[in-house]
A = this chain, B = another copy of it.
Amino acid sequence: MDAVKLVEVGARDGLQNESRVLPAAVRAALINRLVEAGLTHIEAGSFVSPRWVPQMADTDEVLRQLVQRTGVTYSVLVPNSQGMAAAVASGCREVAVFAAASEAFSLRNINCTIEESLARFAPVIDKANAEGIAVRGYVSCVLGCPYTGRVAPQQVVAVSKRLYEMGCQEISLGDTIGAGTPGAVKQLVSACAVELPLASLAVHFHDTWGMAVANCLAALDAGVRTFDSSVSGLGGCPYSPGATGNVATEELVYLFSGLGLNTGVDLASLIQAGGYIDEQLGRTTSSRVARAWRAKHRVQHEEATG
């Protein structure tokens, strides 16, 4: 069976956009449940200042509490060399850097131009490469910017290519505002594939305008095999009014399973992991698959017990 790679970002991109701050032990417990469910690529946190992102405080403690299993990779987001030093000290085997395809977003989100952000990442990526640590490069606003609207595919290609040439093995194309549609996704992936290996591309969709699953299907059609998602649809984006979170991992497991593609994930265990973190956050799931699955099994249980 053909396989796709899911990159679970709920414990980082998801939780950092939820208002409730959770202790390290709870975040580690979530991640350990995600591993039990079969996920093998999991973003575990970020080494940023807890003053800016209190949700990601004590990421080193989270990492210490994670089960180590062959074939499972944990990554952390690092904004600069300081963060990279912390990642190395914690024994991380993968890190991620975060750039934007929109100047306006870069300025407002990370307080520097795209060029300045790349200059800041250069020593981070060099250090990772020297240490044999894998590096993932996020590119945000690939299908639109909350401040300026349209973003040209060539701008996305340019930033992605720079990150790849600087030493990022994987480039995650993020539709930060969740407004993209499948035709634009295909055009973007095709444009990127001219300059970068398809196998190095991942897509990262938010479901703000309800297009995330369809956009994943379009990216799959265009040859992408790596998909970011968030258990229970955790998160959102503070820069996108009305933003829902990342596409739910449950939806992608269901989609790919239906298409005969192996994700390695057990849906029931995944839904249970989502239930755990939703309870900790006091939220209800935004995964339709999780809701439908629970309703179906409740009925089956009632039928079985009379």
Contact = CB atoms under 8 A, between A and B. Distances in A.
Contacts of A243: 292, 295
A51 to B, nearest CB: 26
A209 B292 contact: yes
B241 A181 contact: no
B183 A258 contact: yes
A246 to B, nearest CB: 13
A209 B258 CA distance: 11
User: Copy number in this complex?
Assistant: 2
A163 to B, nearest CB: 27
A291 interface: yes
A248 B210 contact: yes
Interface residues of A, number: 39
Does more than half of chain A's interface fall in helix, strand or loop, or is it mixed?
helix
A289 interface: yes
Interface in A181-214: 181-184, 207-211, 213-214
Interface string A251-276: 10011011110000000000000000
Interface string A267-289: 00000000000000000000111
A244 interface: yes
A260 to B, nearest CB: 7
Interface of A: 178-184, 207-211, 213-214, 216-218, 241-244, 248, 251, 254-255, 257-260, 287-289, 291-292, 294-296, 298-299
Given A181-B254, A183-B260, A244-B288, 5 more contacts: A181-B255, A183-B258, A207-B288, A210-B289, A243-B292
